[in-house]
Amino acid sequence: MLRIGVLALQGDFAAHEDVITNLGHAAEAVRRARDLSTLDALIMPGGESSAMLRLMQAEDLGGAIAERIRGGLPVLATCAGVILLAHGVSPWQPSLGLLDIDVIRNAYGRQVHSAVEKIRLVEEFAEPREIDGVLIRAPRISRVGTRVDILAWFGNDPVLVRQGSIIGATFHPELGRDTRVHRQLLAMTGNDG
Q: Which residues carry out catalysis?
A: 79, 172, 174
Provide φ and ψ at 183, rounded to 5°: -65, -30
Contacts 24+ apart (CB under 8 A), 148-151: 148/99, 148/100, 148/101, 150/122, 151/121, 151/122, 151/124, 151/125, 151/184
